[in-house]
Amino acid sequence: MRQTFITTMPDHVGAFLQASRAMAQLGLNITRVSYNRAIDVHTLFIEAEGEEDALARAVERLEEIGYLRGQPEAAVLLVAFRLRDGITALGYPFPVSSPSNQQFPVLPNGTVAKLQELGYEFEIDHPVDNGHTCIRLVTSWATPERAMEAFLRDLAAC
């Protein structure tokens, strides 16, 4: 299982080393670390893979060492990243990794049509080939987690 943690890196020497050791102690593999200056130079995105229970314990551990704090903008990104992780778990690819509230999965054309029939609204970004389309999904502060979960359930059923 994969999860993206939206963190605020403490401003002291060795802060990232401390976080990476905490993840390693839980048996997690950090697969990507990035930040986006447009969001905040102190906001660090840590993507990790591992067992579900270890990922849950990582949240507690990152809170203990001062990496996770309540941030409204982080909630928007968290929904977007959970959406991305859920779509990835269903086997759909992403042509680009987006560290923002916009996600671009590639879906079969039939799946795109079925989601539209179900009433989902999204932008058709571009056709990938004769059978697949890249769509643009956007989350905001007003996107409830239950809407993201419903979308993932409906996508899985397509």
| Domain 2-69 top-level CATH class | alpha beta
Please give the CATH superfamily to which domain 73-157 belongs. Aspartate Aminotransferase, domain 1 (3.90.1150.10)
Q: What is the pLDDT of residue 76?
A: 57
pTM of the prediction? 0.57
> Which residues on neighbouring strands pair with residue 126, listed in sequence order?
134
Could you check whether 2-69 and 73-157 share the same CATH topology? no
* Amino acid identity, position 61: R
How far is residue 154 from each of residues 69, 90, 112, 130, measured CA to CA in Å?
32, 11, 11, 23
- Residue 120 class from Cβ within 10 Å (0-12 exposed, 13-18 middle, 19+ buried)? middle
- SS3 assignment, position 99: coil
Q: From first to last of its 158 residues, what are the pLDDT tens digits of the chain?
A: 888 887 877 777 888 899 999 999 999 999 988 876 655 667 788 889 999 899 889 988 888 888 876 555 556 567 788 899 999 999 999 998 887 889 999 999 999 999 999 999 999 999 999 999 999 998 876 677 788 899 999 999 99
- SS3 assignment, position 3: strand
Q: What is the pLDDT of residue 106?
A: 98
Instruction: Please report, for the chain, the start and end positions of each structural domain, with discontinuous segments joined by +.
Output: 2-69, 73-157
